[in-house]
Structure 1
Amino acid sequence: MRNTVREVRLERGLSQAQLGEAMGVSRQTIISIETGRYLPSLPLAVSLARFFDTAVEELFHDDD
């Protein structure tokens, strides 16, 4: 599974720490999501999509 969290975060001018704080998770969790080492729970994925005003499918998608 690939994601565009890093790209969208950078477009918005946010640090990993700022995004983590907004989502109620650690900076390390954001790093792990961005690098693909951690697949977020559905509630966290939905929260990220809402925060960025986009669809979950735009942030997270299959490698295909």
Structure 2
Amino acid sequence: MNSETCICKLNDIRADYCITQQEISDATGISIRTIISIEKGHRLPTLLSAMRIANYLSIPVEQLFEYKSDIVPVTALGEICHE
């Protein structure tokens, strides 16, 4: 069984930028309740919400997340298959 985790790093990034939850909510149209829920790890943002937040912070959307997996990348599989 493969193991995967995805964490939204909004709380840390927001703190680095000295931006309040309310400022992100106002700028993106995402409710403050949703912002809080994302930061507490109760939910992940939708793709559209993540893109809005990343756009507001002027960062790549990938920077909002930490993804860990034990799935073997296809490039590694390709190297094994071509032996």
- TM class by shorter chain equals 0.7 to 0.9
Query: What is the aligned residue count?
Result: 64
Q: Which residue of 17, 24, 27 maps to 1:12? A: 17
Kindly report the root-mean-square deviation, in angstroms, between the aligned alpha carbons of the 2 structures: 1.4
Alignment TM-score, normalising by the size of structure 1: 0.83
**Structure 2: 5+ residue stretches without partners:** 1-5, 70-83
Give the strand-richer structure, 1 or 2: 2
Q: 1:57 corresponds to which letter in structure 2? A: E
TM-score in terms of structure 2 length = 0.67
2:72 maps to 1:46: no
Question: What is residue 79 of structure 2 aligned with on the other side?
Answer: none
Percent sequence identity is 33
1:59 to 60, 64, 67: 64
What displacement does 1:33 show?
A: 0.8
Which of structure 1's runs of 4+ aligned residues deviate more than 4 A?
none
CA distance in 2, matches of 1:61, 1:12: 18
Separation in 2, partners of 1:9, 1:45: 13
